[in-house]
Amino acid sequence: MIKIGIVVGSTRPGRKGPDIARWVYEIAAKRNDAKFEIVDLADFNLPLLDEPMPAMRGAYTKEHTKRWSQKVSEFDGYVFVTPEYNHATSGALKNAIDFLYREWTNKAAGFVGYGGSGGVRAVENLRLIMGQMMVADVSTQVALSLFNDFENHTIFKPSQQQVDVANTMLDQVISWSKALKPLRE
């Protein structure tokens, strides 16, 4: 069965990513076409990229990189939950992506962005990165607004429309993950 990682793309104190990732997981858990797991970058405590060799070589020397590599390798596709910081994704997520290469390739990705403008610029930033990593990103994205999907900018309360968009995005990620499976084998 296809396995999708829901990646919490922020390590910042007070972040909203874990709540959003749990929401995505709860939607996904009602499905029977894939397995899902939340992967929180904070649990991996990755330093600023410190591997001496380029990730493309896969010659990892640090235990934290090997642990991260093992986790990312488990999945056929990903849903990246990303905040928008200064019109881009978080530095923590970019750093985590840069640690690896082959572990990402020939897989699919969907995006759940959040911020004042729904995280749309962070997602556009990630689309460029994913293209370089040979990850097929799907067109439907969830754009959560701090103004409309959070009560008082703090309590996460997405609308039913957001649930519907999330399901469409998951349909696409699962379909593309299945389609790309022969390339991974």
Q: What is the pLDDT of residue 136?
A: 98
- The segments of the chain whose pLDDT lies below 50 read none
- Beta pairing class for 150-151 and 135-145: unpaired
- The CA distance from 113 to 184, in Å, is 27
**Crossing angle of the two packed helices 120-132 and 91-98, in degrees rounded to 10:** 10
Instruction: Assess if CATH 3.40.50.300 describes domain 3-184.
Output: no
Q: What is the pLDDT of residue 153?
A: 85
